[in-house]
Amino acid sequence: MATQNAAKVKRLGVIGAGQMGLGIALVAALKAGVPVTLVDNSQASLNKGLAFAAKDISKKRITPDQADDARLKLTGTTSIGELAGVDFVIEAVPEIPQLKFDIFAKLAEVCPRHAILATNTSSIPITRIAAATTKDPKDTSSSSRVVSTHFMNPVPVQKGVEIISGLQTSAETLDTAITFCRAMGKIPSVSADSPGFLANRILMPYINEAVICLETGVGDRDSIDSIMTNGTNVPMGPLQLADFIGLDTCLAIMRVLHLETGDSKYRPSVLLAKMVDAGWLGKKSGKGFYDY
């Protein structure tokens, strides 16, 4: 992955103060050493996120001066207009297509013309997100700067990040995204703009098949997870992993794969859909395949 066209990133913007957005902001401040402006429409979420970040930084194996410097690099705002001076922005809001389209249309207006506009989406086509930045398909000044930096969760722990180009993405945009992710201490993998990209195209059918094995009685919960942890050396079984990801997220991604490809092998498990209907979403709701 050559990066001869990469531009320098001096200031980062992150949209979304949830688990993913906060993790991205924290790693960028600590590892890449760049000032980060964290944007969220909820002041309460910002306050909670920044307080958690400050506490987390204090636990790192760094000097007090380094910790103070990292904390000073993180600022929060409820105004997307505060991103007028960034070189790179990463959107990390829920997987709601229209929400992302609206955000990117606004970013194209607010951010400098050189700024890279990145999304953390795990399933929405990058080409479609890039198209939201302009009303004229012939004008690629904004859409060529759109790319995906899909970080793995939890961001401070996982090294992997998927870099996905849309049809409009320029070589410079791709190179800058790869270089900046490396500066954050990540190991990038490049994927085509295809349903599910690489990680979810492989991972979600694996999880879905485990749920089908459970619903059809091939094995019970503990046997399914045990054979994978003890037989393939993964850190957790597919059903426990689904709980940690969120069963609603797993279902949403499987539905995208099924819809976009038209391939029956991506049909979501009936049990998975029923559990989401019941509100059993996994760890975040207190109940999924396991109780929390």
Known binding positions for NAD(+): 16-21, 40, 95, 100, 122, 153, 284
Catalytic residue among 162, 191, 208, 269: 162
Would you call 194 a catalytic residue per the annotation? no
The amino acid occupying position 279 is: G
Catalytic residue among 45, 150, 191, 269: 150
Would you call 120 a catalytic residue per the annotation? no
Distance CA 125, CA 24 (A): 21
Distance CA 210, CA 201 (A): 15
Q: Which helix (H) or strand (E) holds 210?
A: helix 199-215
Catalytic residue among 120, 123, 142, 200: 200
The amino acid occupying position 141 is: S
Distance CA 111, CA 108 (A): 6
Catalytic residue among 45, 91, 120, 122: 122
Contact 231, 223 (CB under 8 A): no
Distance CA 196, CA 202 (A): 8
Would you call 162 a catalytic residue per the annotation? yes
Output b/e per residue, 174-210; b: 16+ Cβ within 10 A: bbbbbbbbbbbebebbebebebbbbbbbebbbebbeb
Q: How would you classify the pairing of strands 116-119 and 74-77?
A: unpaired
Contact 238, 226 (CB under 8 A): no
Distance CA 23, CA 154 (A): 7
Distances from the Cα of 43 to the Cα of 79, 93, 241, 264, 280, angstroms: 10, 15, 31, 43, 28
Task: Name the binding residues.
Answer: 16-21, 40, 95, 100, 122, 153, 284
Would you call 200 a catalytic residue per the annotation? yes
The catalytic residue positions are 122, 150, 162, 200
